Structure 1
Amino acid sequence: MDLKQLRCFLAVAEALHFGRAAARLNMLPTALGRQVRLLEEELGTPLLRRTTRQVATTPAGALLAEEARAILDRTALAARKVRAVAQAPGGSLRIGAIDSAAAGLLPDLLARFRAAQPEIAVRLVEAKSAEIVPMLHGGRLDLGFIRPPQTPEPGLAFRLLLQERPVAALPRRHPLARRRRLRLTELAGLPLILPPRRTRPHSHDGVVRLFAGLGLAPRVVQEAEEKQTIVNLVAAGIGVALLPEWAARMRVPGVVFRPVELPEGLDLPEWGLGVAWEEGSACAARTLFLAALEAGAAPPPRQAAG
């Protein structure tokens, strides 16, 4: 048995659904199913009962789920301890960030933190929320700037920082580009460029939920994963897009950005941005960074020893 197989099996045993488990691990259901089958072949017994309607654990699978959970917890704890010992006295800080944080929130904060704590080495990893969460659990990141988890993530502390607002990206020659602000209803029915749900579930669902709040469905004409690609497709006249407000900093010829007025009381969980970390793990550099984030200003310099 290897840890990857145990992690895959446990995800299915907890979700009782291959699709949801695959999304949680950011992998394809077929690849997930292959890992589970390899584990069953190695152990010589079925671990899951599969039908067209449901997935259930066998008695052997239920026993292995308990053992796998304990093994993975102990492995993650051991990795955290080893990495903590390996850190130099000055310390290091490994930060994972989705694009909204990496482009909008972090640059100024990192500059202030580096100025106040020059002895702390900061490593920035740009990734999606679904990729950052397992890296936090595995001790490969100390902090993660992510979208709010759709369900509470065991062992993960999360603090909501801000609620982003959508902006419309329009071709410069579009009739609506002459307006200073737009209403969401004015975008209904226009050809829309949207991230695919398989790889960008928060971005996709955030836009769909906006229209669903009006009882409408977006008219999607093109999918694209990266924000820069989406804006370039807008410039080409393929459609319009709804993006987080930081995207308005992008300067692409032929594209304008306009704020979008939303109906009062509209819930926008997918447009939230927060910071997460593994509970119970010690990291002095993270404590300093969170203090700086809480203060909204440069963190206090460390006092000299003695």
Structure 2
Amino acid sequence: MALDLRLLSSFLAVVEEGHFGRAAGRLFLSPAAVTQHLQRLESQVGARLLDRTATPVVPTAAGVRLAGHARVLLAAANAALDDVAEVTAREPEAGRPLRVGIMGHGSAELTPAAINAYRRARPDVKVEIRQLNFTEHVTGLLEDRVDVAFVRPSPDDERVVADVLTTEQRIVVVPERSPLADARATGVGVTDVADLPFFRVPRHTPHTFTDYLYFDDRARRRSTECALTPQEVLTGVVTGRAAGSGLRSFARYYAWPGAVFVPVLDAPWESSYLAVRAGDDNPEVRIFRALATALAKDLGPIINAHPLHAG
């Protein structure tokens, strides 16, 4: 039986903190994720490891025994990473920052979580954050301006590979005086938004992004105001010149006065991605990608759990 080091790390954090909430904060996870880790670990070892009725939480006899092994295993894993890092530091890439591109708000809460996790894991590597506009869905990577990129939807280019991080309900953004604003709590259908004056993007914008942006060809034909960033979209919305579309988490990050976020109930849910250049052998890119995808497994279900509004 192979033990997942993440499960051991969560278990040891609870043992040392005596509290699930404090352990979750220490690991930058949710308490629900830590609880799930402990349940999986107890299922694997076939024994109850913690006395949850005690205050603080304490390990059982089996838990005390496993905690000793967990410390040894995690110390060995950290030593292995330090050894690899020492070799990596002597390689030609040493001193080069990791350039992280973010389109809009990226992958919601996963974006800062992944960046902060990388900074803790690789404190000696400088991280540069670069904002990407809608036309840089692929070019930021291909023109070597960023090393990893939080984008949506998945790039349709064999030179780029991408991992799904979140999957969310689609929304439209309209001004308060729009007739659709009254449906913010009930939602609308794709046919209801087809005649909205969606903003347009430059012709050189990748087709995968424009296909994602508009819900059907009628919406594409009616697009008017030009926008390259979420801020420009919202400016067009609140001034009544255009409508926008996005993922559900857009509403949490861009709650502008005068802008109303309406769920599109029958539109397929869409994903956000972490994209990298195919075949990139930069070890820092591999480390960042591994951390982001691991966090997506823990935080993704929380972010994706519920629609913006029940409909």
- Same fold, judged at TM 0.5 (above): yes
Letter in 2 for 1:129: H
Whole-angstrom distance in 1 between the partners of 2:170 and 2:157: 23
Structure 1 or 2: larger strand share? Answer: 1
TM-score norm. by structure 1 comes to 0.55
Looking at structure 2, the residues matched to 94 and 216 of structure 1 have their Cα atoms a distance apart, in angstroms, of: 35
Q: Which residue of 1 aligns with 2:255?
A: 251
Which residue of the partner structure matches residue 118 of structure 1? Answer: 123
Match of 1:225 in 2: 228
Sort the Cα spacing of 1:159 and 1:84 in 2 relative to 1 into closer, same or farther, 3 A.
farther
Q: 1:294 to 1:183 in 2, by over 3 A?
A: same
Structure 1 pair 201/100, CA: closer, same or farther in 2 (3 Å)? farther
Structure 2 CA distance for partners of 1:229 and 1:150, relative to 1, 3 Å: same
Please list, as runs of the form range in 1=range in 2, the aligned pairs for 1:115-154 lying within 5 A after superposition. 115-127=120-132, 128-136=136-144, 141-146=146-151, 147-153=153-159
Hey, what's the Cα distance between the residues in 2 that align with 1:254 and 1:109? 32
Does the 8 Å CA contact 2:107/2:166 hold for their aligned counterparts?
no
What SS does structure 2 have at the residue aligned with 1:289? helix
- CA shift for structure 1 position 242: 1.6
Look up the SS of the partner of 2:163 in the other structure.
strand
Unaligned 5+ segments in structure 2 are: 1-89, 299-311
2:34 counterpart residue number: none
Residue 190 of structure 1 corresponds to which residue in structure 2? 196
Give the residue type in structure 2 aligned to 1:227. Answer: P
Query: In percent, how many aligned pairs have the same letter?
Result: 24
Give me the whole-angstrom Cα distance separating, in 2, the residues matched to 1:297 and 1:236.
Answer: 36
Q: 1:95·1:143 contact (CA, 8 Å) conserved in 2?
A: yes
Partner residue, 1:211 = 216
For residues 42-95 of structure 1, the C-alpha deviation after alignment (integer angstroms, 9 at most, x for no partner) is xxxxxxxxxxxxxxxxxxxxxxxxxxxxxxxxxxxxxxxxx951414xx74222
Structure 2 residue aligned with 1:278: 277
* 2:198 counterpart SS class: strand
Shift of 1:170: 1.3
Which 10-residue stretch deviates more, 220-229 or 168-177? Answer: 220-229
Number of the residue aligned with 2:243: 240
Alignment match, 1:160: 164
Aligned-pair distance for 1:275? 2.5
Name the residue aligned to 1:292: 291
> Contact 2:142/2:277 (CA < 8 Å) preserved in 1?
no
Any conservation in 2 of the 1:109–1:293 contact (CA below 8 Å)?
Answer: yes
Partner of 1:85: 92
Determine if contact 1:211/1:218 at 8 Å carries over to the other structure: no
Q: 1:178 aligns to what?
A: 182
Cα 1:279–1:211 shift into 2, 3 Å: closer
SS at match of 1:222: coil
Q: Contact (CA 8 Å) 2:200, 2:226: kept in 1 or not?
A: yes
Within 1, Cα distance between the matches of 2:287 and 2:157?
A: 28
Shift in alpha-carbon separation, 1:221–1:290, aligned structure 2, 3 A: closer
The residue aligned with 1:58 is none
Distance in 2 (alpha carbons) for counterparts of 1:167 and 1:246: 9
* CA deviation after TM superposition for structure 1 residue 231, in Å: 0.9
Q: What amino acid does structure 1 have at the position aligned with 2:266?
A: L
Alignment of 1:260-279 (within 5 A): 260-263=264-267, 266=268, 271-279=270-278
Determine the C-alpha separation between the residues in 2 that align with 1:207 and 1:280.
Answer: 29
Alpha carbons 1:113, 1:289 under 8 Å: kept: yes
Matched residue SS, 2:228: coil
Instruction: Judge conservation of contact 2:107–2:165 (CA < 8 Å) in 1.
Output: no
CA distance in structure 1 between the partners assigned to 2:169 and 2:126 by the alignment:
32
CA 1:95–1:135: 2 relative to 1, 3 Å: farther
Q: Give the TM-score taking structure 2 as reference length.
A: 0.54
Contact 1:188 1:218 survives alignment (8 Å) = no
CA distance in 1, matches of 2:163, 2:107: 17
- What is the CA-CA distance between 1:104 and the residue it aligns to? 5.5
Structure 1 residue 171, shift from structure 2 partner: 1.0
Task: State the secondary structure of the residue aligned to 2:138.
Answer: helix
**C-alpha contact (below 8 Å) 2:158/2:278 kept by paired residues:** no
Contact 1:116 1:298 in 2 (8 A): no
**Would you say 1:94 and 2:102 are equivalent positions?**
no
- Aligned-pair CA distance for 1:169: 0.8
Q: 1:232 to 1:114 in 2, by over 3 A?
A: same
The one-letter code matched in structure 1 to 2:277 is: E
SS state at 1:182 partner: coil
